[in-house]
Amino acid sequence: MKTSVTIALAGNPNAGKTTLFNRLTGARRHVGNYPGVTVEKKEGIFTHNNQDIRVTDLPGTYSLTAYSVEELVAREFIVNEQPDVVVDIVDASNLERNLYLGCQFLELGVPMVIALNMVDVAESRGIEINTEKLAALLGVPVVPIIARSGKGIDELFDVVLKTAEQEKPTQPVLLRYGSDLDQTIRKMLPLIQENKLLTEQYPARWIALKFLEDDEQILEKARQKNAEVTQLLLQLCETVTAHLQQTMDVYPEAVIADHRYGYIKSILHQGVITEKFVGDRLYTSDKIDKIVTHRVLGPVIMAAILYALYTFTFTYSTTLVDSLASFFAVISNTIDGLLPDGPLKSMIISGAIDGVGGVLGFVPIIMFMFFGIAVLEDSGYLARVAFMMDRIFHFFGLHGSSVMPFIVSGGIAGGCAVPGVMATRTLRSPKERIATLLTVPFMNCGAKLPVLTLLIGAFFSAHQARYMFLSTVAAWLVALISAKFLRITVLRGESTPFVMELPPYRFPTIRGLVIHTWERTWQYIKKAGTVILGISILLWAMMTYPGLPEVQTVQFEQQRQEILASSNQEQGAEATGSIDLTEEQNSALGILNNQEAQAALRNSFAGRIGIALESVSRFAGFDWRTNIALVGGFAAKEVIVSTLGTAYSLGDVDPNNSLSLKDRLSADPNWNPVVALAVLAFIMFYAPCFVTVVCIAREAGSWKWAFFSMGFNTIFAFIMAIAIYQIGMALGLGG
């Protein structure tokens, strides 16, 4: 028996070290400071089985790097004082995170016992831990305790004393840190060992790790010992750091941390933890999951649920959409009658009402869709979708956690790429993250929904729900294939393993559903009232000015007079003042007015841009008016509908007109189902809107990726559109 055994209590802050320390030492303790720093040092002595034990309560730390004074103090104490046993206090209710520190003790090769504290808390949360299995996998003793009540403490110190008596030194555990780092470590080891660089104090491998982690304290010590070898080692580190930076945009520290967590996860996933909630809620959830996430049944159920969502949304919202459309038509007509002709009337009707009305008209669809999504989300089903999609995602070089950004961006239709891009923050691997944020804008966000609905309603009205569903499938396919493409070209690299929680199923509450639906719908309405209103008026101005040159206005006026004059002649001398025009005259006037408005639009700023683009866009069947809308859509996709509305209503003259844009498009000779499909594809896949682009730049940390996404998407979308148009027309589907 040794005269006195020394132990150190280590652990994360709040793991219960002080509680244990106080229980052990009672009044027999001494509080001072560690030499040179203000960190408190508590020491005490107690007896267990007649053996004196000296115990030191180390400062709480999450890691053993040299980033904070606490970490440094804890590490120095263990290395310099060499306690017989380190007791690592681990919070059982937060095992994965707490084991990170223990993992580093293992790498350091110190004799250790894990005190699995707070098992009462873990139990109340339904977490059950198989301590024997954990001990076997980690290779160190694990003793469950409750520091607050003292339960398990005797057993803990029986084990501690047994460990202290062991003669053979503890071997450091070897972890892998990925092929790049492992290779470098293999080159560093002989240099360290042959020159005995700090090897009396630390294991050689651990020194190599500290060099890679850029640990100032160890580097300084090494320099003092042997500056030359230190320099050689640093060169090796620099080479691999540069390589990791270039290939994965990460630092070695991050790779090392990832692998430590990977080691812990792989241990915990081998049946060490079972989470079981009290009551039968999770039990039922488990049973549901057996079916719902089944390999074969799962995807079938998922497809059926999503298809039901589309049917629900598009069947039940039509009446509301139609009545809103007539409502805006009534307002237009009323203002038309009240205001005198002129720029003000034109601005209010063609700019504001057609623009904002076009967007607001879709509120019912958006609302129904959001309601359906809220049901899926609140019930817990959406997490299962992510879980099932992970298998597919891995194949395409993405991660299970990429599913949420995709869904937020409109993966089920109706979302927004801006929060979607921000949601990629949960992804740890930089490459998977960039691949995700570059591809989420392909989803059918809430702003694209109105355009899709408009075009599908105008040209494929017989199968609206089916086409919407197909467009969502197409969005996913394009996003995943592009992700794969990026991951085998510019973003090549390994995929990280998937971990995601499956919360228990819950019955959604009506209150929750209403709040979720309304929050999202209101955001959409607010945008229509502000940003969209501004852009609509700006685009209206660009489409109205500078107007027709003087000469042409005079010409049109002359022609108009001629038509009126012809009526006077026919009706003889008695026809003076107000006259009833014949049907032919009316239609001749209509055509003339239409031609004038068209000529004015062509001459406008926006018209000139649209016409200039026509030389390219005609390959995809887009006319210049569509081009105007597509350019406007870069500011915000919502604007596409309103701009099309303005472009087509400017050329419209029937006095009793209340034709909706949908009817105008399907009647227009420039449009047919093939053109509509080409435009649809282009809108779904071309450059993300301006706000998203800014967001991508911010999240990816460089404008490079933002410009890449604009260019890549637009070129891709245009090729798709051309292919659809050319093939469709060649097959004679243009009608």
Of the pair 153, 606, the CB lying nearest ligand GDP is at 153
* C-alpha dihedral sign at 320, 326, 331, 334: negative
Neighbours of 167 (CB within 10 A): 4
Q: In the 8-state DSSP scheme, what is residue 617?
A: H
Min separation Cβ 58 and Mg ion, Å = 9
DSSP reduced 3-state for 28: coil
Tokens representing residue 607 in the block: 């018209």
Choose which of 7, 8, 11, 309 interacts with ligand GDP (CB under 6 A): 11
**Stretch of residues binding ligand GDP (CB under 6 A), selected from 11-19, 590-598, 677-685, 693-701:** 11-19
Contact pattern for ligand GDP over residues 123 through 162, marking x by CB under 6 A: -----------------------xxx--------------
Of the pair 94, 199, the CB lying nearest ligand GDP is at 94
- How many of the chain's residues bind ligand GDP (CB under 6 A)? 16
Min separation Cβ 143 and Mg ion, Å = 20
Q: Which of residues 350-369 bind ligand GDP (CB under 6 A)?
A: none
Of the pair 18, 496, the CB lying nearest Mg ion is at 18
DSSP reduced 3-state for 410: helix
Q: How far apart are CA 457 and CA 622, in angstroms?
A: 19
Of the pair 31, 612, the CB lying nearest ligand GDP is at 31
DSSP for 674-712?
A: HHHHHHHHHHHHS---HHHHHHHHHHHTSHHHHHHHHHH
Q: How far apart are CA 328 and CA 360, in angstroms?
A: 9
- Are 78 and 29 in contact by the 8 Å Cβ rule? The answer is no
Contact pattern for ligand GDP over residues 519 through 548, marking x by CB under 6 A: ------------------------------
| 439, burial (CB in 10 Å: exposed 0-12, middle 13-18, buried 19+) | buried
Of the pair 78, 532, the CB lying nearest ligand GDP is at 78
- Are 130 and 123 in contact by the 8 Å Cβ rule? The answer is no
Of the pair 121, 422, the CB lying nearest ligand GDP is at 121
| 298-to-175, 386, 392 alpha-carbon distances in Å | 37, 12, 13
121 binds, among Mg ion, ligand GDP, none (CB under 5 to 8 A by kind): ligand GDP
**Stretch of residues binding ligand GDP (CB under 6 A), selected from 33-41, 117-125, 300-308, 466-474:** 117-125
Q: In the 8-state DSSP scheme, what is residue 66?
A: S
Choose which of 5, 17, 382, 457 interacts with ligand GDP (CB under 6 A): 17
Going by C-alpha positions, the residue among 325, 399, 313 that lies closest to residue 361 is 325
**Stretch of residues binding ligand GDP (CB under 6 A), selected from 6-14, 184-192, 305-313, 658-666:** 6-14
**Stretch of residues binding ligand GDP (CB under 6 A), selected from 14-22, 445-453, 597-605, 710-718:** 14-22
Beta bridge partners of 116: 90, 144
Q: How far apart are CA 410 and CA 472, in angstroms?
A: 9
End-to-end CA distance of the chain: 98
- Are 20 and 46 in contact by the 8 Å Cβ rule? The answer is no
DSSP reduced 3-state for 363: helix
In residues, how long is the chain? 735
- Are 78 and 28 in contact by the 8 Å Cβ rule? The answer is no
Residue in the block written with tokens 């949960």: 426
The answer to whether the bond into 546 is cis (omega within 30° of 0) is yes
Of the pair 121, 470, the CB lying nearest Mg ion is at 121
Choose which of 16, 144, 203, 632 interacts with ligand GDP (CB under 6 A): 16
Tokens representing residue 151 in the block: 């339960």
15 binds, among ligand GDP, Mg ion, none (CB under 5 to 8 A by kind): ligand GDP
- Are 222 and 230 in contact by the 8 Å Cβ rule? The answer is yes
Choose which of 39, 79, 121, 653 interacts with ligand GDP (CB under 6 A): 121
Choose which of 43, 52, 76, 120 interacts with ligand GDP (CB under 6 A): 120
Min separation Cβ 16 and Mg ion, Å = 8
Q: How far apart are CA 427 and CA 249, in angstroms?
A: 14
**Stretch of residues binding ligand GDP (CB under 6 A), selected from 10-18, 169-177, 273-281, 338-346:** 10-18
Min separation Cβ 14 and ligand GDP, Å = 4
Beta bridge partners of 218: none
Contact pattern for ligand GDP over residues 35 through 74, marking x by CB under 6 A: -------------------------x--------------
Q: Which of residues 16-75 bind Mg ion (CB under 5 A)?
A: 18
695 binds, among ligand GDP, Mg ion, none (CB under 5 to 8 A by kind): none
Q: How far apart are CA 392 and CA 668, in angstroms?
A: 42
Q: Which of residues 273-332 bind ligand GDP (CB under 6 A)?
A: none
- State phi, psi for 31 to the nearest 5 degrees: -110, 125
Min separation Cβ 63 and ligand GDP, Å = 15
Choose which of 6, 19, 104, 439 interacts with ligand GDP (CB under 6 A): 19
- Are 56 and 96 in contact by the 8 Å Cβ rule? The answer is no
Min separation Cβ 153 and ligand GDP, Å = 10
**Stretch of residues binding ligand GDP (CB under 6 A), selected from 114-122, 240-248, 322-330, 659-667:** 114-122
Interface with ligand GDP, residue 700, by CB under 6 A = no
Q: In the 8-state DSSP scheme, what is residue 151?
A: B
118 binds, among ligand GDP, Mg ion, none (CB under 5 to 8 A by kind): ligand GDP
Min separation Cβ 217 and Mg ion, Å = 24
484 binds, among ligand GDP, Mg ion, none (CB under 5 to 8 A by kind): none
428 binds, among ligand GDP, Mg ion, none (CB under 5 to 8 A by kind): none
Beta bridge partners of 42: 31, 57
- Are 583 and 521 in contact by the 8 Å Cβ rule? The answer is no
Min separation Cβ 21 and ligand GDP, Å = 7
Residue in the block written with tokens 């097959």: 731
Min separation Cβ 17 and Mg ion, Å = 5
**Stretch of residues binding Mg ion (CB under 5 A), selected from 15-23, 67-75, 333-341, 528-536:** 15-23
Min separation Cβ 61 and ligand GDP, Å = 10
Tokens representing residue 695 in the block: 């967001």
Min separation Cβ 125 and ligand GDP, Å = 11
| 140-to-48, 100, 118, 346, 474 alpha-carbon distances in Å | 21, 15, 19, 81, 52
**Stretch of residues binding Mg ion (CB under 5 A), selected from 14-22, 231-239, 245-253, 398-406:** 14-22
Tokens representing residue 532 in the block: 């969209």
**Stretch of residues binding ligand GDP (CB under 6 A), selected from 115-123, 287-295, 564-572, 589-597:** 115-123
Residues forming contacts to Mg ion in the complex (CB under 5 A) are: 18
Residues forming contacts to ligand GDP in the complex (CB under 6 A) are: 11, 13-19, 60, 117-118, 120-121, 146-148
